[in-house]
Amino acid sequence: MQLGAAEDDNADNTVLVLDLLHEMAFKALLQQKDIDMERGAVLSELKDRDSILQRVAMEYYRFLHSDTVLPTRFPIGLEKLVKNFGADDFAAFYKRHYYPSNMCLYVAGDVDAADMEAKIQRVFGDQPAGPRDGAKGNDPAIQEHKAPVVNWPRRGKIIEHASFREGDHVSEPAPLVEGEGTSGATALAAGSDAADNDKSYHAISHQLLTEFSMSMCTKTVESKTFEVGHLRQSLVDSLIGMVLDFRMNEIRLRSKDPIFNSIGWSFSSTPREGCSMNSFSISSQPKRWKEAMALGMGEASRMATHGVTEGEMTQSITTLNNYFATQAVMNTRWRARRGCDVSWTL
């Protein structure tokens, strides 16, 4: 929640914002008519997501993260549950999981820490620490503000990976969950031909897919950024990926009939997936996939063998600096237009 400027710029409306957060967290009405109204919007969004790209993404997660809960935790959830959840179900979940010991309140801005803590205590202090349905719940965090940032999310379920894709050891695909996703996505997953797939790769074909695409991925332990050296390494990774993008874009622009649509490398490491992912991807027109594969693999091999030039590195650094500078200016202008000086997150 963003705290905007009041009519009187010197007015202190922090308690008002805290009261609003308190109502959201513990006083929601959850009326059946409101839930039914929102249910239609959620089902509409679920239908809109039932595209071939979403189905491929679901297959991607099922294959790469079959040893985790991720393939059964897609956003929105199961259609049959969205259709049948009622006010009582929401109220039960609300009472079980929405309580102070299961939350973090973050305040950022030019505030007096002691004064802010007193106000938070005044608004939230009478709220019972545990679940309102009598369940045990999580124990209160002790001096958790001193923990390093890399421990986020503190209360979310940790994504456990039974194994990482190193060497020849690859976990078996997870079984399909009945009713998962929409009918189209389920049909695509159920119709996969086991003869065309083994433990090291997974192929998907469908009449709605109009281009060839290939992604080679490695999954390793989630990287942590809590030292300057870690941040430096992540920036170097970004720069290398940018150099490859520049090279491939130049090749594509020089050609009157490009043999590929895109070739690129990406790296991600997030608590959401609980791991680090390196991905090298190639896409092309279906009839030219062999040429695109040869070009992409050749360029990646050349970069691995010979590295990058000083000019390429300078170009990437300049581009990255310009991007960060532009983002900083846009953020400053946005906050100035909104009159924001403090941000709140619960």
Q: Express each pLDDT in 322-345 by its tens digit.
A: 998 998 888 877 766 665 544 444
Least confident of 135-144, 292-301, 306-315: 135-144
Least confident of 144-158, 197-211, 226-240, 241-255: 144-158
Tell me what pLDDT residue 8 has. Answer: 53
CB 274 within 8 A of CB 68: yes
Q: Following DSSP, what letter does each residue of 51-80 receive, concatenated?
A: SHHHHHHHHHHHHHTTTSSGGG--TT--HH
Task: Residue 123: count other Cβ atoms within 10 Å of its Cβ.
Answer: 19
Alpha-carbon 296 to chain mean position: 27
**Cβ neighbours of residue 223 under 8 Å, at least 6 residues apart?**
230, 234, 269, 276
Burial class (CB in 10 A: 0-12, 13-18, 19+), 82: middle
* Positions of E strands within 223-314: 262-270, 275-284
**Cβ neighbours of residue 221 under 8 Å, at least 6 residues apart?**
164, 275, 276
Q: Please, where are the H alpha helices in 200-288?
A: 228-254
Name the residue among 96, 92, 103, 106 with its Cα closest to residue 135: 96
Residue 253 tokens, joined: 């622009």
Kindly list the structural domains of the chain, giving each domain's residue range(s) and its CATH number in brackets, ordered by start: 11-194 (3.30.830), 210-346 (3.30.830.10)
Least confident of 50-59, 67-76, 179-188, 265-274: 179-188
Tell me what pLDDT residue 338 has. Answer: 60
Residue type, 133: D
Tell me what pLDDT residue 157 has. Answer: 57
Name the residue among 102, 157, 181, 180 with its Cα closest to residue 273: 157
Tell me what pLDDT residue 288 has. Answer: 94
Tell me what pLDDT residue 214 has. Answer: 93
Q: What percentage of the chain carries pLDDT values higher than 70?
A: 76
- State residue 304 phi and psi, 5-degree precision: -65, -35
CB 296 within 8 A of CB 263: yes
Tell me what pLDDT residue 314 has. Answer: 93
- CA dist., res. 180 & res. 72, Å (int): 7
pTM: 0.65
Bridge partners, residue 65, by sequence = none
Tell me what pLDDT residue 158 has. Answer: 64
pLDDT at 204 over 80: yes
pLDDT at 15 over 50: yes
Most confident of 66-75, 151-160, 194-203: 66-75
Q: Are strands 342-345 and 2-3 parallel, antiparallel or unpaired?
A: antiparallel
- State residue 80 phi and psi, 5-degree precision: -65, -30
Residue 261 tokens, joined: 């649509």
Tell me what pLDDT residue 203 has. Answer: 87
Tell me what pLDDT residue 11 has. Answer: 67
Tell me what pLDDT residue 189 has. Answer: 42
Average pLDDT of the chain, as a whole number: 78
pLDDT at 246 over 90: yes
Position 142 confidence tier, pLDDT thresholds 50, 70, 90: very low
pLDDT at 315 over 90: yes
Tell me what pLDDT residue 313 has. Answer: 92
Tell me what pLDDT residue 294 has. Answer: 95
Give residue-wise pLDDT tens across range 145-185: 443 433 334 445 567 776 564 443 344 444 434 433 333 33
* Strands, sheet with 275-284, edge to edge from the N-terminal-most edge strand: 212-221, 275-284, 262-270
Give residue-wise pLDDT tens across range 264-294: 998 888 877 888 888 999 999 999 999 999 9
- CA dist., res. 327 & res. 332, Å (int): 9
- CA dist., res. 164 & res. 161, Å (int): 7
